[in-house]
């Protein structure tokens, strides 16, 4: 069945209202598949390109479930944990949650480094429904005993591939070891690799695997170009490219640099050349980063020069151009960078600068995206010598492709994946298949878990099991019915903060 409308996904009227306010016309493919499954209680392992609407895909159903459960967080606790690699992304997700939660009675809080701990500690001391956090700050707060993981019902790992790139794996493992076994887990990644699959196996249980165009990681709407240059001409080329737009109020370009120092220097140089620019990178304070991003979003500067830390977090509407002034070290990063343009339905341009020094890096990118990126010709700085070297690499690749036509990236089948996660030291799934069509077989694992594990649940006080209901039917698992049988009272303090949808 194809789902054309948000109203077909099982979302509540209050959520549909905020979707209308956001002016989303129809659910994106990942939203169509993920939202009903998450509402059902399934774990998700999702792989989709950047700009495909992953945030709403996980945030909307989780918020609906939090809202309708009638449950509430206890002091120091939070019910949904959304882990993201960067502060910017935490901000972005926070902004989305605030937009989607306009008509809901939920609280959320962001916890990331570089800003004062106090507001985060204050919000957590009362308890929040949703916590959006970067791993470092989260563990920092945990070590200071300012939060407890005991109330987590939902875990979202967003941009999991980026988290691994940034070396967060030990932190993620530590966090996951603290979480209650009984939870619903969702893992999203823009690219797929063996490391991601390995991580997924330890986090999601019997997941619905959603893969949107995994073999075409580049967003097709992006007009990709490459300029072949001698190293000394890089800056001249950049000004030649950007100067014609210097006075266009609508024009926004994101320029990527490899080093923090390089980014600052380039922003200053561009400003001097008459192209208004600012830089955003990890050495800047959080407020300076917010300020630069704000200026860019408000169209007060034409160019934002960024290191890769900004590659994932920035969702600026109608960004016209991404420039890879320095090529990224990792091929996947190329996809994330150019994914900053062409968000949602918009289209954009991505121009990469290739010099003699990075022939190999560039060829690796072309190999990864399976595309010979068209040449940027409209420049006086074109270097035929560099282009010749690229052409040689392309010819070699074409020859190899002919020899080995089957060489495809490794894919895992759902079955293989599910089988693998069913044994070993796995936590049990909270997903219970309804015995709809095949009454005999469903979820033996789940049932086993019902009897043994559920009584150990950290939330057991909310979930006193009943023996039989008045119709003599067997009761649902305790965690499914806890809200109907026992509606706990929300503490006065939380009531106060929940008058509005609050955040720190
Ligand atoms: P991803 O996490 O997959 O990179 P995001 O969740 O950041 O993508 O969404 C990208 C942009 O698309 C955001 O500006 C978001 O508001 C918008 N968006 C999300 N879902 C829809 C939709 N169904 N229709 C239109 N725009 C959408
Ligand atoms: Mg995202």
Which pLDDT score, from 0 to 100, does residue 344 have?
A: 53
Residue identified by tokens 């010598």 is: 385
Backbone angles phi, psi at 403, to 5 degrees: -65, -45
Cα–ligand 1 centroid distance for 44 (angstroms): 18
Distance of CA 145 to the CA centre of its chain: 27
Distance CA 220, CA 175 (A): 36
Mean per-residue pLDDT of the chain: 80
pLDDT tens for each residue of 163-193: 988 889 999 999 999 999 999 999 999 888 8
Q: What is the pLDDT of residues 266-275, one digit of tens each?
A: 999 999 999 9
Give the CA dihedral 29, 422, 149, 194, nearest 10 degrees: -60
pLDDT (average), residues 206-230: 78
Taking the centre of ligand 1 as the mean of its atom positions, its distance from the CA of residue 188, in whole angstroms, is 14
The best mutation among 34, 47, 55 to test binding of ligand 1, ranked by most ligand atoms within 8 Å of the C-beta, falls on 55
Give per-residue pLDDT as tens, 138-162: 999 999 999 999 999 999 999 998 8
Which DSSP string corresponds to 439-486? TTSS-HHHHHHHHHTGGG-TTGGG----SB-TT-PBPPPHHHHHHHH-
pLDDT of residue 338: 84
CA of 419 to the centre of ligand 2 (A): 29
Report the atom number in ligand 1 closest to the C-alpha of 22. Answer: 16
Distance 27 CA to ligand 1 centre (A): 10
8 A C-beta contact, residue 374 and residue 234: no
pLDDT tops 90 at residue 376: yes
Indicate the pLDDT class of residue 49, thresholds 50, 70 and 90: confident
* Confidence label for 346 from pLDDT (cuts 50, 70 and 90): low
pLDDT, mean of residues 49-53: 81
pLDDT (tens digit, 9 = 90+) per residue, 466-494?
333 333 334 444 444 444 445 556 665 55
At 110 the pLDDT is 93
The pLDDT confidence band at residue 137, using thresholds 50, 70 and 90, is very high
Residue 50 has pLDDT above 80, yes or no: no
* Residue nearest to ligand 1 atom 11, measured at CA: 344
Best of 344, 345, 346, 348 for a ligand 1 pocket test (most atoms within 8 Å of beta carbon): 344
- Our answer on whether the CB atom of 56 is closer than 6 Å to any ligand 1 atom is yes
The atom number, within ligand 1, closest to the CA of 6 reads 23
CA dihedral 98, 101, 102, 106 (to 10 degrees): -100
**Residue owning the nearest CA to atom 20 of ligand 1:** 53
Percentage of the chain surpassing pLDDT 90? 55
**With bands split at pLDDT 50, 70 and 90, how would you rate the model's confidence at 286?**
confident
State the average pLDDT over residues 411-431.
31
Residue 54 CB less than 6 A away from ligand 1? yes
Q: Is the CB of 84 under 6 A from ligand 1?
A: no
pLDDT number for residue 462:
35
- Please enumerate in sequence order all residues whose Cβ is within 8 A of that of 426, keeping only pairs 6 or more positions apart, or say none: 205
Among 190, 184, 310, 180, CA closest to 258: 310
Mean pLDDT of 283-301: 89
Q: The tokens 């990178």 sit on which residue?
A: 281
Give the tens place of pLDDT for each residue, 387-399. Answer: 999 999 999 988 8
- Which ligand has the shortest distance to the CA of 210? 1
Using alpha carbons, select from 55, 13, 14 the residue that is nearest to residue 35. 55
Question: What's this model's pTM, rounded to 2 decimal places?
Answer: 0.63
Residue 445 CA to residue 442 CA, distance in Å, equals 9
Q: Which residues, at least 6 apart from 476, have a Cβ–Cβ distance to it below 8 Å?
A: none
**Is the pLDDT confidence value at 218 over 70?**
no
Separation of 85 CA from ligand 1 center, angstroms? 18
């Amino acid at each position: 069945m194809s789902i054309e409308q948000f109203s077909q996904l099982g979302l509540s009227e209050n959520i549909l209202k905020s979707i209308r306010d956001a002016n989303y016309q129809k659910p994106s493919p990942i939203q169509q598949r993920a939202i009903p499954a998450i509402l059902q209680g399934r774990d998700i392992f999702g792989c989709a390109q950047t700009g495909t609407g992953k945030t709403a895909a996980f945030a909307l159903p989780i918020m609906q479930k939090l809202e309708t459960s009638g449950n509430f967080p206890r002091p120091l606790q939070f019910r949904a944990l959304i882990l993201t690699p960067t502060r910017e992304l935490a901000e972005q997700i926070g902004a989305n949650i605030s937009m989607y939660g306009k008509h809901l009675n939920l609280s959320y809080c962001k916890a990331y480094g570089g800003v004062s701990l106090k507001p985060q500690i204050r919000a957590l001391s009362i308890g929040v429904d949703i916590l959006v956090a970067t791993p470092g700050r989260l563990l920092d707060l945990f070590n200071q005993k300012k939060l407890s993981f005991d109330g987590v019902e939902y875990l979202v790992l967003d941009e999991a591939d980026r988290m691994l790139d940034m070396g967060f794996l030990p932190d993620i493992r530590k966090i996951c070891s603290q979480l209650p076994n009984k939870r619903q887990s969702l893992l999203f990644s823009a690219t797929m690799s063996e490391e991601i699959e390995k991580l997924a196996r330890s986090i999601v249980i019997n997941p619905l695997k959603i893969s949107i165009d995994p073999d075409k990681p580049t967003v097709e709407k992006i007009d990709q170009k490459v300029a072949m240059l001698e190293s000394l001409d890089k800056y001249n080329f950049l000004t030649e490219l950007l100067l014609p737009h210097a006075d266009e109020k609508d024009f926004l370009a994101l320029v990527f640099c490899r080093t923090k120092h390089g980014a600052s220097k380039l922003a200053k140089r561009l400003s001097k050349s008459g192209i208004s620019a600012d830089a955003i990178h990890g050495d800047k304070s959080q407020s300076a980063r917010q300020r630069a991003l704000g200026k860019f979003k408000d169209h007060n500067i034409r160019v934002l020069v960024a290191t890769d830390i900004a590659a994932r977090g920035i969702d600026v509407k109608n960004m016209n151009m991404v420039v890879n002034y320095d090529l990224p070290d990792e091929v996947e990063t190329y996809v994330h960078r150019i994914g900053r343009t062409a968000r949602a339905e918009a289209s954009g341009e991505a121009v990469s600068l290739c010099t003699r020094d990075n022939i190999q890096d560039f060829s690796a990118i072309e190999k990864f995206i399976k595309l010979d990126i068209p040449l940027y010709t409209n420049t006086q700085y074109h270097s035929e010598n560099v282009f010749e070297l690229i052409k040689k690499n392309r010819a070699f690749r074409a020859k190899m492709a002919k020899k080995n036509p089957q060489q495809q990236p490794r894919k895992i089948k759902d079955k293989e994946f599910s089988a693998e996660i069913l044994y070993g030291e796995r936590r049990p799934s909270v997903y219970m298949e309804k015995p709809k069509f095949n009454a005999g077989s469903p979820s033996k694992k789940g049932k086993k878990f019902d009897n043994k594990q559920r009584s150990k649940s950290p939330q057991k006080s909310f979930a006193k099991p009943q023996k039989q209901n008045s119709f003599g039917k067997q009761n649902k698992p305790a965690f499914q019915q806890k809200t109907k049988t026992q509606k706990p009272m929300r503490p006065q303090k939380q009531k106060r903060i929940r008058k509005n949808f609050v955040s720190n």
